[in-house]
Amino acid sequence: MNGLIIEGVAGTGKSSTLKHLEQHPDFLKLYPKVKVLSEEITLGELVIELRNESLTNAQRCLRLKNLLPEIEATVSARVFVILERFHHSYFALMPDWNLVKEYDAFLNHLKFASVLLDIPDNLIAERCFNRPENGVQGTGDLMAWYGSKTKAMKAFATSQNNRKRAMEISLLPGITVDTSEKNWNEVVERIIKFMD
């Protein structure tokens, strides 16, 4: 395995998982050299771009295409690559697999795998919407963006279900890990076992 995609909707624990994974001695033994491409790089302003009607969905995916040479060069240099979100997130927001299948095939060729961090629907309000880091202003922004709390909850659930569908369609080997308990050591140990 040369790389890993960490996927999940906001609040499922991608940042916590990454932090614990990068510090875990078993992971460091397997992969002493690691490069992380954060969601600021892989996803960027996609959510805002979805509101720009002058862009096509194919144009919105160009960010992924532009990252492929860097990913390939990093793998060639024998550095393990972790992508915080990638084409599964694009499919979650624009559910047309034809838009992203070339990226899936490319990463499969490079021997990537994927991990989907998952929570049950009954935790979406707590973990995705009422996140402490959102604060009052953040939850207000979410309600303004989606139109209501109910619509925001539905959008999170749809996005999560689309990611599950992407895991089924993808050529990449992958696992889904429930992060309900926020037991990050256990989450990371499951990921390392899958990778080994």
Cα–Cα distance for residue pair 118/7, rounded to 1 Å: 9
- pLDDT tens sequence for the chain (196 residues): 999 999 998 888 899 999 999 999 999 999 999 999 999 999 999 988 988 999 999 999 999 999 999 999 999 999 999 999 999 999 999 999 999 999 999 999 999 999 999 988 777 666 666 554 444 334 445 445 556 767 777 878 888 899 999 999 999 999 999 999 989 999 999 999 999 7
Q: Residue length, the chain?
A: 196
Helix residue ranges per DSSP H, the chain: 14-23, 25-30, 39-42, 46-49, 57-60, 62-76, 87-93, 101-109, 124, 135-146, 149-169, 184-195
**177 within 8 A of 117, measured Cβ to Cβ:** yes
Q: Please report, for the domain that includes residue 36, its CATH number.
A: 3.40.50.300
CA 46 and chain centroid, separation = 13
Residue range of the domain that includes 11? 3-195
Please name the residues in contact with 71: beta carbons below 8 A apart, sequence gap of 6 or more: 3, 37, 81, 83, 107, 110
Q: Please tell me the total count of domains within the chain.
A: 1
